[in-house]
Amino acid sequence: MIKFDEENHLYFNEKGFIVPSVTEIIGAVYGTGLENAPAEFVARAAAKGTAIHKEIEQFIKTGRRSIVKTPEAAHFVEYAQKHTLDLKNADTEQILYAETPYGEVCGTADLIIAEDLDDYKTSKTATNAQIKKWQMQLSMYKYMAEKMGRTIKTLKVLHLTEDGCDEIMLEYLGDDFVLETMRMYSAGEKAEQPAPQTQLQTVPQNELDYVEYALKQIDAFEKQLEPLRTKIKAEMEQRGILSVTIGDVNISYVAAHKSKKFDSTKFKAEHAKMFALYQKESEVKSSIRITVK
Summarize pLDDT for 151-191 with one digit per residue, the tens. 999 999 999 999 999 999 999 999 999 999 999 999 999 98
Domains of the chain, by residue range, sit at 3-193
Summarize pLDDT for 97-128 with one digit per residue, the tens. 999 999 999 999 999 999 999 999 998 888 88
pTM of the model: 0.71
Determine the residue type at 111: L
What is the average pLDDT score of the chain?
89
Nearest to 73 by CA among 125, 110, 107, 40: 110
Q: Are 191 and 184 in contact (CB under 8 A)?
A: yes
The H or E element spanning position 159 is strand 154-161
Higher pLDDT: 182 or 246? It is 182
What is the DSSP-derived secondary structure letter of residue 88?
Answer: G
Tell me how crowded residue 208 is: count the other CB atoms within 10 A of its CB. Answer: 15
- Percent of the chain exceeding pLDDT 70 equals 96
pLDDT score of 197 = 59
3-193: CATH topology is Lambda Exonuclease; Chain A (3.90.320)
Q: SS3 string of 20-35?
A: CEHHHHHHHHHCCCCC
Structural Rg of the chain based on CA atoms:
27
